[in-house]
């Protein structure tokens, strides 16, 4: 199929080239033939005018049109430049010629009338030339002697042979045919090479894209060829990179979800089995049921977070914008962590700030604050400080949550908003988090046409800053 496509493309291009060359050749032949014809006519007319002047001068001397000198002039002019010159009297009879075959030549009344008005005559006559001349020049002239007032009228007809024109056209035709043949061969070679190269590249692209379709992204398409082909190859490579990245993210997503689900389910199953088979004493069953309840809550949070993530990515989540008090929302969220704050003996600063108002979805924004406050409490040092700040500038609200502690490495700053990323995975801290909170928080803030950034100094602090419009 592909071979047929490129074969047709090859033939079409070749046909276009041939048609163009033929058209140019025809125009050249017609144009050159016309120019040659004009030059030939000028040559004939110039010689005819000189001939008439010579005849007029001789008639003025002798008083006769036909004598030895005029015959000599006629023979001389007719023998040069492949031109025939004939003179007719006022009655249209040929009176001066170089060859006896012209003796019967006559001009019709119509021809004489046209010559009398200065019109150009062009016609063929077997009686004039065996070669059927195509260049004709006619004129009317008058003669008289110096001692006579009588004026006589005569007609001159000059004929040029067609043979030279035919030879010229034939020569041009042969040259054009040769050029067409050469162009045909060169164009065929060039187009054949181009189509082979293009076919090879297309086949290579088809082979690699088939590998992409099977999930194999190990080979990259070489960006070569024409501008369009390079652009096409580059686009396919970008698509492959995206598919590879998406595939890796999907695999990682499934793996993380599976892990997060397996851990609490295993815990729940173990505790329930222990209670059912009597491994766990009745005195401790209540304690273990509390742990089971906590794991169930963890599963519920995970499922809820996954549903929210899906809604964010599908674009089905529509926020309910109302005017809310951001400061009060933060305060009420902090109170949810009162027990953990007391356990770590943390100092909370900045909640006595002026009230900051904005148009937002209260439930979604509170979820952001919950995730950020939970994160701050988790990683703040014992007896550490969590500082809140609220500001408004340039029609934007700014909320900052800053905690003292170990801070983040530079390479962690770019990953904290990724799904299932846990900054504490290598530090032995609380690992009960799902790694979804910050990712969901960023999506919620983007849904509010805002931004969220993180700042950190290793060994000193970590700060999250939320920026959302005052009005949507």
Nearest to 5 by CA among 206, 144, 182, 180: 206
Contact 156, 85 (CB under 8 A): yes
> Of 63-77, 188-202, 375-389, which range is least confident?
188-202
Q: Any residues with CB less than 8 A from the CB of 378 and at least 6 apart, and which?
A: 424, 429, 430, 433
C-alpha 218, offset from chain centre: 27
| Tokens read off for 156 | 């001159």
**Mean pLDDT in residue range 132-138:** 69
Domain with CATH 1.10.287.130 in the chain: 240-313
Nearest to 468 by CA among 369, 336, 331, 353: 369
**Mean pLDDT in residue range 293-300:** 76
Buried b (16+ CB within 10 A) or exposed e, 75-94: eebbeeebbbbbbbeeeeeb
Q: Which three-class secondary structure state does DSSP give residue 220? A: coil
C-alpha 449, offset from chain centre: 33
Rounded CA gap, 334 and 332, in Å?
6
Q: Which residue's entry shows tokens 């010559």?
A: 115
Contact 366, 333 (CB under 8 A): yes
Contact 256, 435 (CB under 8 A): yes
What is the per-residue pLDDT across 100-127, written as a single tens digit (0 to 9) for each? 777 777 888 888 877 766 555 554 444 4
Q: Which CATH number fits domain 2-168: 1.20.140.10, 3.30.70.260, 3.20.20.70, 3.30.450.20?
A: 3.30.450.20
For residue 390, pLDDT beyond 80: yes
What is the per-residue pLDDT across 201-213, written as a single tens digit (0 to 9) for each? 777 777 777 777 7
The C-alpha angle 206, 211, 212, rounded to 5 degrees, equals: 95
Q: Which three-class secondary structure state does DSSP give residue 384? A: coil
Domain with CATH 3.30.450.20 in the chain: 2-168
Q: Which residue's entry shows tokens 């990245």?
A: 245
Q: What are phi and psi of 211, to 5 degrees?
A: -65, -40
Q: Which residue's entry shows tokens 């550490």?
A: 384
Quote helix, strand, coil % in the chain, to nearest 5. 55, 15, 25
For 321, the enclosing helix (H) or strand (E) is none
Sort 100 into a burial class: Cβ within 10 Å, 0-12 / 13-18 / 19+: exposed
The pTM score is 0.45
Q: Which residue's entry shows tokens 């048609």?
A: 19
For residue 311, pLDDT beyond 80: no
Contact 459, 436 (CB under 8 A): no
Strand 347-349 relative to strand 385-393, pairing: parallel
Question: What class is the 318-469 domain?
Answer: alpha beta
pLDDT at residue 427, rounded to an integer: 42
Reported in sequence order, the residue ranges of 189-327 that DSSP labels E, i.e. its strands, are 322-325
**Mean pLDDT in residue range 347-375:** 91
Q: Which three-class secondary structure state does DSSP give residue 450? A: coil
Domain with CATH 3.30.565.10 in the chain: 318-469
> Of 137-151, 193-207, 284-298, 336-350, which range is least confident?
193-207
Which CATH number is associated with domain 240-313? 1.10.287.130
What's the chain's average pLDDT?
Answer: 78
- Sheet of 385-393, strands arranged across: 347-349, 385-393, 396-404, 461-469, 451-457
For residue 46, pLDDT beyond 90: no
Q: How confident is the model at residue 430 (pLDDT cuts 50, 70, 90)?
A: very low
Alpha helices in 214-336 (DSSP H): 227-276, 282-314, 326-335
Reported in sequence order, the residue ranges of 17-134 that DSSP labels E, i.e. its strands, are 83-89, 94-96
Provide the 8-state DSSP code for 102. Answer: G
Rounded CA gap, 447 and 280, in Å?
48
| Tokens read off for 465 | 């800053």
For 464, the enclosing helix (H) or strand (E) is strand 461-469
Rounded CA gap, 230 and 236, in Å?
10
Among 110-124, 174-188, 367-381, the range of highest mean pLDDT: 367-381
Contact 44, 84 (CB under 8 A): no
Strand 385-393 relative to strand 94-96, pairing: unpaired
Nearest to 6 by CA among 242, 262, 198: 198
Strand 83-89 relative to strand 94-96, pairing: antiparallel
Rounded CA gap, 339 and 12, in Å?
82
The C-alpha angle 318, 324, 328, rounded to 5 degrees, equals: 130
Reported in sequence order, the residue ranges of 55-163 that DSSP labels E, i.e. its strands, are 83-89, 94-96, 135-143, 152-160
**Mean pLDDT in residue range 161-190:** 70
pLDDT at residue 462, rounded to an integer: 93
Q: Which residue has the higher pLDDT, 314 or 460?
A: 460
Rounded CA gap, 209 and 233, in Å?
10
């Amino acid at each position: 199929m592909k071979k047929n496509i490129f074969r047709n493309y090859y033939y079409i291009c070749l046909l276009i080239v041939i048609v163009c060359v033929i058209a140019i050749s025809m125009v050249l032949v017609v144009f050159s033939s016309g120019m040659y014809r004009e030059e030939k006519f000028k040559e004939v007319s110039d010689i005819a005018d000189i001939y008439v002047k010579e005849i007029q001068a001789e008639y003025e001397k002798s008083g006769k049109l036909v004598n030895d000198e005029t015959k000599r002039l006629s023979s001389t002019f007719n023998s040069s430049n492949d031109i025939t010159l004939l003179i007719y009297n006022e009655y249209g009879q040929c009176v001066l010629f170089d060859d006896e075959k012209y003796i019967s030549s006559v001009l019709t009344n119509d021809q004489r009338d046209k010559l009398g008005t200065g019109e150009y005559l062009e016609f063929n006559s077997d009686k004039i030339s065996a070669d059927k001349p195509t260049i004709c020049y006619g004129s009317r002239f008058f003669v008289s002697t110096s001692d006579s007032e009588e004026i006589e009228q005569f007609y001159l007809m000059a004929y040029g042979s067609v043979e030279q024109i035919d030879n010229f056209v034939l020569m041009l035709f042969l040259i054009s045919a040769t050029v067409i043949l050469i162009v045909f061969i060169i164009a065929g070679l060039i187009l054949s090479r181009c189509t082979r190269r293009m076919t090879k590249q297309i086949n290579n692209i088809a082979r690699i894209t088939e590998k992409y379709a099977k999930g194999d992204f190990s080979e990259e398409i070489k960006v070569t060829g024409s501008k369009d082909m390079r652009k096409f190859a580059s686009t396919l490579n970008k698509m492959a990179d995206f598919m590879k990245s998406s595939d890796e993210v999907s695999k990682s997503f499934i793996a993380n979800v599976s892990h997060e689900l397996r851990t609490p389910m295993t815990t729940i199953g173990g505790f329930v089995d222990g209670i059912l088979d009597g491994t766990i004493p009745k005195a401790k069953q209540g304690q273990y049921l509390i742990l089971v309840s906590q794991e169930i809550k963890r599963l519920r949070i995970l499922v809820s977070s996954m549903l929210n993530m899906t809604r964010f990515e599908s674009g089905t989540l529509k926020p309910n914008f109302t005017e809310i008090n951001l400061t009060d929302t933060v305060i009420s969220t902090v109170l949810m962590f009162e027990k953990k704050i007391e356990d770590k003996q943390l100092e909370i600063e900045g909640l006595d700030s002026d009230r900051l108002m904005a148009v937002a979805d209260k439930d979604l924004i509170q979820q952001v604050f919950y995730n950020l406050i939970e994160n701050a409490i988790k990683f703040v040092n014992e007896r550490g400080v969590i500082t809140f700040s609220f500001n408004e500038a340039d029609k934007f609200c700014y909320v900052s949550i800053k905690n003292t502690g170990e801070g983040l490495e530079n390479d962690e700053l770019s990953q904290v908003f990724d799904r299932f990323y846990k900054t504490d995975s290598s530090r032995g801290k609380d690992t009960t988090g799902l790694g979804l909170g910050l990712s969901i928080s960023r999506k919620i803030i983007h849904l509010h046409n805002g931004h969220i950034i993180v700042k950190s100094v290793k060994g000193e602090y970590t700060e999250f800053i939320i920026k959302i419009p005052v009005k949507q």
